[in-house]
Amino acid sequence: MKSKFRHVALIGKYQTLASGASSASARRVLEDIAHFLHAQGCEVVFEHDTARNMGIVGYPVMDVSAIGAKCDLGLVVGGDGTMLGIGRLLAKFGVPLIGINQGRLGFITDIPLEGYAAALAPMLRGEYEEDHRGMMHARVMRDGRCVYDALAMNDVVVNRAATSGMVELRVEVDGHFVANQRADGLIIATPTGSTAYSLSAGGPLLHPSIPGWVLVPIAPHTLSNRPIVLANITEIAIEIISGRDASASFDTQSLASLLHGDRIVVTRSEHNVRFLHPRGWSYFDTLRQKLHWNEGVA
Residue 254, domain CATH: 2.60.200.30
Least confident of 112-116, 204-208, 261-265, 269-273: 112-116
Last residue of a domain, one of 106, 126, 146: 126
Q: Is the pLDDT score of 16 beyond 50?
A: no
Give the pLDDT band (50/70/90) at residue 21.
Answer: very low
- Same domain, yes or no: 98 and 205: no
Give the pLDDT band (50/70/90) at residue 231.
Answer: very high
User: In angstroms, how far is the first alpha carbon of the chain from the final one?
Assistant: 42
168 lies in some domain = yes
- Same domain, yes or no: 68 and 182: no
Tell me the β-bridge partners of 290: none
165 lies in some domain = yes
- Same domain, yes or no: 213 and 262: yes
Quote the percentage of the chain above a pLDDT of 90: 79
Instruction: Quote the Cα angle for 86-20-10, to 5°.
Output: 25
User: What average pLDDT does range 96-116 have in this prediction?
Assistant: 88
Owning domain of residue 11: 7-126
285 lies in some domain = no
* 16 vs 283, higher pLDDT: 283
- Same domain, yes or no: 16 and 84: yes
> Global pTM?
0.91
* 187 vs 81, higher pLDDT: 187
283 lies in some domain = no
CA distances from 156 to 134, 268, 278 (A): 13, 12, 29
Q: What is the pLDDT of residue 142?
A: 96
- Same domain, yes or no: 105 and 140: no
CA distance 109 to 114: 13
Radius of gyration of the chain (CA): 21
Last residue of a domain, one of 126, 154, 170: 126
Cα torsion 105, 110, 116, 122 to 10°: value is 170
Least confident of 7-11, 41-45, 152-156, 243-247: 243-247
- In this structure, are residues 202 and 125 in contact, taking their beta carbons and an 8 Å threshold? no
- Same domain, yes or no: 220 and 201: yes
CA proximity to 208, closest of 277, 100, 283: 283
294 lies in some domain = no
User: What average pLDDT does range 143-147 have in this prediction?
Assistant: 96
Q: What is the pLDDT of residue 254?
A: 75
Active-site hit among 49, 80, 131, 251:
80
Q: Give the H/E segment covering residue 7.
A: strand 7-11
Residue 37, domain CATH: 3.40.50.10330
Give the pLDDT band (50/70/90) at residue 165.
Answer: confident
- Same domain, yes or no: 114 and 159: no
Find the DSSP H helices in the chain: 21-39, 48-54, 64-70, 80-90, 116-124, 197-200, 283-290
Tell how far CA 56 is from the center of its chain: 25
- Same domain, yes or no: 147 and 186: yes
Q: Does the active-site annotation cover 80? A: yes
Q: Total domain count for the chain?
A: 2
Q: Is the pLDDT score of 251 beyond 70?
A: yes
- Same domain, yes or no: 111 and 141: no
Q: Is the pLDDT score of 13 beyond 80?
A: no
- Same domain, yes or no: 88 and 121: yes
User: What average pLDDT does range 237-257 have in this prediction?
Assistant: 89
Q: What is the pLDDT of residue 14?
A: 53
- Same domain, yes or no: 139 and 266: yes
Q: Is the pLDDT score of 207 beyond 80?
A: yes
- Same domain, yes or no: 262 and 208: yes
112 lies in some domain = yes
Q: What is the pLDDT of residue 19?
A: 40
